[in-house]
């Protein structure tokens, strides 16, 4: 017997078309006119009774000429495991496929701490710098500097949240600019203060240096810019600074 249900309120529809695999619906509510007419599911001559994860019967329906079936019933009828990832609104049929890793540039991402925010620089494009972060430091004007052989040194930090989602950190160290024979070094620490990686000591004649290191499981990443020079403000930059992650 043909049954018509007018004004069915559906939030997230997770169904399977008779001819395709997975449907991803928007996370909104829509009022639709659905038709229920005791649609049967038969696979290889065997009738399947569609049920949800709790074993309750789920009746297929027709909407706008398309027949919708519970994806769990369809997947399991073909011997496929079906799982629902509510955090990412994703249905997996036949197991999860590893996501490809992706570079996430940090120049426009919020930091959780910065010791010298007025001199912290970050942007997408500036001359030779692309997707960069950096720090401008004048050690001679600092109260916290150290002096060695009449050379003034100081350091500033910026801390980014990783929340255990990043696999690697990568980028390119750029030589320090300006100053009077400046030297720079960049160091990276995890949330416990463990040194993860550091650049060599660089001066204005140093070539750019590509780097990459592991940060698996790190909750945060502290980037420390260290500058040594005699008189002038000096900049230290990391070009194409990114985290490598599959969770995006």
1-49: pLDDT as tens digits = 444 443 333 333 334 333 333 333 345 677 888 898 988 888 888 898 8
**Helix, coil or strand: residue 112:** coil
> Based on the domain organization, do 139 and 224 belong to the same domain?
yes
DSSP for residue 51: B
Residue pair 79/85 in contact (Cβ under 8 Å)? The answer is: no
Q: Is 113 domain-assigned? A: yes
Whether the model pTM is above 0.85: no
> Based on the domain organization, do 115 and 87 belong to the same domain?
no
Q: Is 206 domain-assigned? A: yes
DSSP for residue 150: T
Q: CATH number of the domain at 144, please.
A: 2.60.120.1060
User: Tell me, what's the pLDDT at 56?
Assistant: 87
Task: Tell the residue number behind the tokens 């500058």, with chain if given.
Answer: 227
Q: What is the C-alpha to C-alpha distance for residues 152 and 182, in angstroms, rounded to an integer?
A: 10
How many alpha carbons lie under 13 Å from residue 40 in its C-beta half-sphere?
7
Of the chain, the end-to-end C-alpha distance in Å amounts to 47
Last residue of a domain, one of 57, 74, 93: 93
Cβ-proximal residues to 118 (8 Å cutoff; 6+ apart), any chain: none
> Based on the domain organization, do 108 and 216 belong to the same domain?
yes
Give the range of the structural domain holding residue 225, as residue numbers without chain letter.
103-245
> Based on the domain organization, do 230 and 119 belong to the same domain?
yes
- State which residues of the chain have pLDDT below 50: 1-26
């Amino acid at each position: 017997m043909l049954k018509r249900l007018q004004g069915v309120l559906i939030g997230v529809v997770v169904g399977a078309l008779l001819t395709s695999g997975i449907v991803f619906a928007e996370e909104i509510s829509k009022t639709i006119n659905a038709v229920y007419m005791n649609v049967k599911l038969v696979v290889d001559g065997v009738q399947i009774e569609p049920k949800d994860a709790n074993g309750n019967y789920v009746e297929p329906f027709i909407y706008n000429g398309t027949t919708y079936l519970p994806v769990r019933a369809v997947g399991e009828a073909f011997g496929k495991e079906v799982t629902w990832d509510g955090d990412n609104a994703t249905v997996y049929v036949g197991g999860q496929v590893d996501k490809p890793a992706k570079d996430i540039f940090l120049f426009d991402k919020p930091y959780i701490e910065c010791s010298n925010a007025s001199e912290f620089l970050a942007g997408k494009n500036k001359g030779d710098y692309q997707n960069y972060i950096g720090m401008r430091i004048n050690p001679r004007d600092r109260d916290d500097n150290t002096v060695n052989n009449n050379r003034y040194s100081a350091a500033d930090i910026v801390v980014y949240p990783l929340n255990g989602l990043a696999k690697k950190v990568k980028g390119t160290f750029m030589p320090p600019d300006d100053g009077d024979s400046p030297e720079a070094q960049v160091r990276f620490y995890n949330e416990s203060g463990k040194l993860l990686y550091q650049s060599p000591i660089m001066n204005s004649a140093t070539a750019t240096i590509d780097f990459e290191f592991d940060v698996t499981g790190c909750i945060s990443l502290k980037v420390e810019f260290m500058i040594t020079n005699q008189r002038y403000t000096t900049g230290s930059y990391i070009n194409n600074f990114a985290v490598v992650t599959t969770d995006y």
